[in-house]
Amino acid sequence: MAKSIKVALAGAGAFGIKHLDGIKNIDGVEVVSLIGRRLEPTQAVAKKYGIAHVSTELSDALAIKEVDAVILCTPTQMHAQQGIDCLRAGKHVQIEIPLADSLKDAQAVVDLQKQTGLVAMAGHTRRFNPSHQYVHKKIKAGELNIQQMDVQTYFFRRTNMNALGQPRSWTDHLLWHHAAHTVDLFAYQAGSPIVKANAVQGPIHPDLGIAMDMSIQLKAASGAICTLSLSFNNDGPLGTFFRYICDNGTYIARYDDLVNGKEEKIDVSKVDVSMNGIELQDREFFAAIREGREPNSSVAQVLPCYQVLHDLDQQLAKG
Question: For the chain, how far is it from start to end, CA to CA, in angstroms?
Answer: 51
3-state secondary structure 257-298: EEEECCCCEECCCCCCCCCCHHHHHHHHHHHHHHHCCCCCCE
Q: Report residues of the chain scoring pLDDT below 70.
A: 1-2, 159-171
Domains in the chain, CATH or no CATH each: 5-124+277-296 (3.40.50.720), 126-274+305-317 (3.30.360.10)
Contact by Cβ (8 Å): 41, 12: yes
pLDDT at residue 87 in the model: 98
Strand boundaries in 58-172, DSSP class E: 69-72, 92-96, 120-123, 146-154
Bridge partner list, 253:
242, 258
Ordered strands of the 92-96 beta sheet: 53-55, 29-35, 5-10, 69-72, 92-96, 120-123
Say how far apart CA 280 and CA 132 lie, in whole Å. 12
**pLDDT for the residue numbered 158:** 76
Residue 175 three-state SS: helix
45 and 106 Cβ atoms separated by less than 8 Å: no
> Tens digit of pLDDT for each residue in 292-307?
999 999 999 999 999 9
pLDDT of residue 154: 96
Count of other CB atoms within 10 angstroms of residue 156 = 12
Judge contact between 311 and 217, C-beta under 8 A: no
Round to whole Å and give the CA distance between 44 and 12. Answer: 10
The β-bridge partners of 243 are 150, 252
Beta carbons of 69 and 93 less than 8 angstroms apart:
yes
Determine the Cα–Cα distance for residues 280 and 290; give it in Å rounded to an integer: 15
Q: Shortest CA distance to 42 belongs to which of 56, 28, 22, 58?
A: 56
Tell me if 35 sits within 8 A of 8, measured CB to CB. Answer: yes
Q: What is the CA radius of gyration of the chain?
A: 19
No. of helices (H) and no. of strands (E), the chain: 9, 14
Alpha helices in 63-119 (DSSP H): 79-88, 103-116
Specify whether the CB–CB gap between 261 and 184 falls below 8 A.
Answer: no
**CA dihedral sign, ordered 231, 233, 236, 239:** positive
Give me the amino acid identity at 153. Answer: T
Burial degree of 263 (CB within 10 A; 0-12, 13-18, 19+): exposed
pTM of the model: 0.94
Cα 48 from Cα 85, distance rounded (Å): 28
Closest C-alpha to 85, from 116, 124, 55 = 116
Task: Give pLDDT, residue 283.
Answer: 98
